[in-house]
Amino acid sequence: MNTIPNTLIDWYTAHRRDLPWRKTKDPYAILLSEIILQQTRVDQGLDYYHRFLETFPEVSDLASASEQEVLNLWQGLGYYSRARNLHKAAKRIVELNSFPDTSSELLKLPGVGPYTSAAIASFAFDEVIPVLDGNVFRFIARLLCIEADPSNEQAKKVIRTFLESIIPKEDAASFNQALMEFGSLQCKPQKPNCETCPLNSECIAFKQSKVSSIPLKKEKPKRRKRYFNYLVVLENGKILVQQRGGADIWENMFEFPLIESLEALDIEDLAPLIPNDILKNASVGRYFRRKKHLLSHQEIYSTFLVLNLDKEVSIEGKKWIPFAELEDHPFPRIIDKFLEENSLLEGKNPRFV
């Protein structure tokens, strides 16, 4: 008889991608990969995984780094609370003197939720527990024809119960890998290849022609519009930056002095809002008009106004850094793009000066 697990494992053997975190049992490396891959496609996270392992080969290396170093390495990947929590988790593991080796202990680590704790417990410690990520939800929801969206806790419960009833006691890890890989490559979101699917005869959604409508989609929240007017304040090869606070996007990351407004501002509207301690010594340089930057819940319109100072004045809550030290500071993409486009990351004077 050909059970679902057997079918999946056979499919996996034939179609699996060669991914680095599948070649190790090191719980730290697996933790790293799982955190990086939260809400992130494999090809987007791959380089970060290698860089983190190279920079911090062991969990103790990560634990003894500064948060700024960790955020700096995470720069560009998004959802930066993952980096801050990963750093906290590493410190916790070092304190514990041993790596948590059960899903329930792993669940206590910051940034480690139901999916990630199950994944690490399964892949690193061979615990018999099913993983339930977006790929698995989609696959099983279609197989059982569960018309719900992925945030539906009741549907997750049904799916978990089903998975627990079929998960093999021996090599549950391969079964879990196969589950996710199948959801990702075969039972994919758009245009799944149902005609050649080895499970189509058992797929209720397929029989009922409901595959394309499962899982249900949640109505997308509207993006809040924000207007970020950045001041690019320069003086003798240095630039003025500040660190962002909490309770907002990009917590603890750096940016230029910011004037946020509820509406789009013209440069005439902006001028009177520039802090006096900056403005009084400044000559106004180039003005970069609005660009749009999309986040999942926000739509940010940015402008950049260059101000050249003739002497370095100290400004409360902000610090001057030489161009060459920009690369040591974690910036959100909106700032990093500006730095790139104007050659500021090369330690030279920017293009517009």
Question: CA–CA separation, 117 vs 104, rounded Å?
Answer: 7
The single residue listed with the structure tokens 């679902």 is 4
| Ramachandran bin of 299, using left for φ above 0, alpha for ψ from -120 to 50, beta for the remaining angles | beta
Candidates 75, 84, 80, 81; CA nearest to 333 is: 75
Residue 236 or 296 with smaller CB distance to DNA: 296
Residue 187 or 309 with smaller CB distance to DNA: 187
Element (H, E) at 207: helix 204-207
User: Quick one: which segment of 6-14, 94-102, 114-122, 200-208 binds DNA (CB under 7 A)?
Assistant: 114-122
Minimum distance from CB of 79 to DNA (Å)? 5
Q: Out of 4, 46, 61, 79, which residue is the one contacting DNA (CB under 7 A)?
A: 79
Question: CA–CA separation, 322 vs 164, rounded Å?
Answer: 56
Q: Does 290 bind DNA (CB under 7 A)?
A: no
Q: Does 102 bind DNA (CB under 7 A)?
A: no
Candidates 224, 232, 238; CA nearest to 259 is: 232
Minimum distance from CB of 280 to DNA (Å)? 33
255 belongs to the catalytic site: no
Hey, which residues between 305 and 334 contact DNA (CB under 7 A)? 332-334
Question: CA–CA separation, 166 vs 26, rounded Å?
Answer: 27
Q: Out of 7, 60, 68, 85, which residue is the one contacting DNA (CB under 7 A)?
A: 85
Q: Does 111 bind DNA (CB under 7 A)?
A: yes
Angle at 16 (CA atoms; ends 47, 83), nearest 5 degrees: 30
Kindly determine how many residues on this chain lie close enough to bind DNA according to the rule CB under 7 A: 60
Which residues have CB under 8 Å from 190's CB, separation 6+?
none
Hey, which residues between 12 and 71 contact DNA (CB under 7 A)? 19, 21-22, 33-34, 37-44
Residue 102 token pair: 């059960």
How many residues belong to the chain?
Answer: 353
Angle at 319 (CA atoms; ends 316, 320), nearest 5 degrees: 135
Hey, which residues between 333 and 352 contact DNA (CB under 7 A)? 333-334
Residue 142 or 320 with smaller CB distance to DNA: 142
Q: Out of 3, 6, 81, 349, which residue is the one contacting DNA (CB under 7 A)?
A: 81
Which residues have CB under 8 Å from 167's CB, separation 6+?
5, 128, 129, 130, 175, 176
Minimum distance from CB of 313 to DNA (Å)? 29
| Ramachandran bin of 47, using left for φ above 0, alpha for ψ from -120 to 50, beta for the remaining angles | alpha
Q: Does 167 bind DNA (CB under 7 A)?
A: no
Residue 35 or 240 with smaller CB distance to DNA: 35
Q: Does 174 bind DNA (CB under 7 A)?
A: no
Which positions are annotated as active-site residues? 34
- Binding residues (CB under 7 A) for DNA: these are 19, 21-22, 33-34, 37-44, 76-81, 85, 110-117, 119, 133-135, 138, 150-151, 153, 177, 180-181, 184, 189-190, 217, 220-221, 224, 247-251, 293-298, 332-334
